[in-house]
Amino acid sequence: MSFLTVEGLTATYGSSQALFGVDLTMAEGEVTALMGRNGMGKTTTVKAICRMIRSEGKLTLDDVSLHDLPSYKVARRGVGLVPEGRRCFAGLTVRENLTAAARPGAWTLQTVCALFPRLGERENQRAASLSGGEQQMLAIGRALMTNPRLLILDEATEGLAPIIREEIWAAIRKLKAETGVAILLIDKSVKELSSVSDKAVIVEKGRSVWSGSIAELTPEISEKYVGV
Ligand code: ATP
């Protein structure tokens, strides 16, 4: 049984087509980098997986079609999305943000705060008063509190100071080493993506144009499709 299968995925925003055929498969516990230049369809692909936009093509989790499910049921089936722009409830405290998302499993307030000690230190602070990096940690913590089997991180290190970015990459490496969660990563740093991912899928103009193991992702391929 495959875990996540995306095949020939197409999606439109109104009359404008954004995806023309994206293929992506993931096994449980696997870390996959979804790569491509700006505007090529990475965020649209994850929005389609999470059923935040309508799409067509094959889209299954555990061989169950996600097309038939509303987004909250996709989340209940184990897909945790950390969307672009570190969304959390600004008026709620760190603890309230985390507990509001909680579903049973290994991830609890304690384990999330062990992964991100800054969150534990700021448990009673409102999210609005956190730094951008801390808000991003909170957004990841909220997704972990749902105890996902697939964690999707869309530009989780975007716009953050290098030291905070490093903390987030360290947390991602820890998730990979110590838990069985599958992770789909979108990020600008090919270097960091290459260090943590098992494989990569590259999208260009709404189509997947390359996929393979991270060892097969040569500098020439990165240069050609990602411009790095
Ligand atoms: P970035 O790294 O810049 O976020 P991306 O690879 O994630 O890029 P998408 O955000 O998926 O790209 O965008 C794919 C295409 O869909 C682009 O042409 C974009 O302009 C278009 N698009 C994205 N969101 C919308 C929207 N809400 N309405 C209309 N078009 C959109």
Pocket test for ligand 1, best of 6, 9, 13 (most atoms within 8 A of CB): 13
Alpha carbon distance 20, 56 (integer Å): 10
Shortest-distance Cα residue to atom 19 of ligand 1: 39
Identify the CA nearest to 22 among candidates 61, 59, 51, 52.
59
pLDDT value at position 68? 86
The better pLDDT of the pair 227, 117 is held by 117
This prediction's pTM: 0.95
Identify the CA nearest to 34 among candidates 58, 66, 70, 6.
6
pLDDT value at position 2? 80
Interval 20-42: pLDDT, tens:
999 999 999 999 999 999 999 99
Q: How far is the CA of 117 from the centre of ligand 1 (A)?
A: 34
Pocket test for ligand 1, best of 40, 82, 208 (most atoms within 8 A of CB): 40
Percent of the chain with pLDDT over 70: 99
Cβ partners under 8 Å of residue 25, min gap 6:
2, 3, 4, 5, 6
Q: Is the pLDDT of residue 1 over 70?
A: no
Token code pair at residue 175: 């998730």
83 lines ligand 1 (CB under 6 A): no
Ligand 1 atom with minimal separation from the 188 CA = 2
Q: Is the pLDDT of residue 136 over 80?
A: yes
Cβ partners under 8 Å of residue 135, min gap 6:
86, 88, 127
pLDDT value at position 47? 97
Interval 150-170: pLDDT, tens:
999 999 999 999 999 999 999
- Structural domains for the chain: 1-78+191-228 (3.40.50.300)
Q: Is the pLDDT of residue 204 over 70?
A: yes
Mean of the per-residue pLDDT values of the chain: 95
- How far from the centroid of its chain's Cα atoms is residue 145's Cα? 14
DSSP state, residue 38: T
Tally of CA atoms within 13 A in the half-sphere of 198 that contains its CB: 13
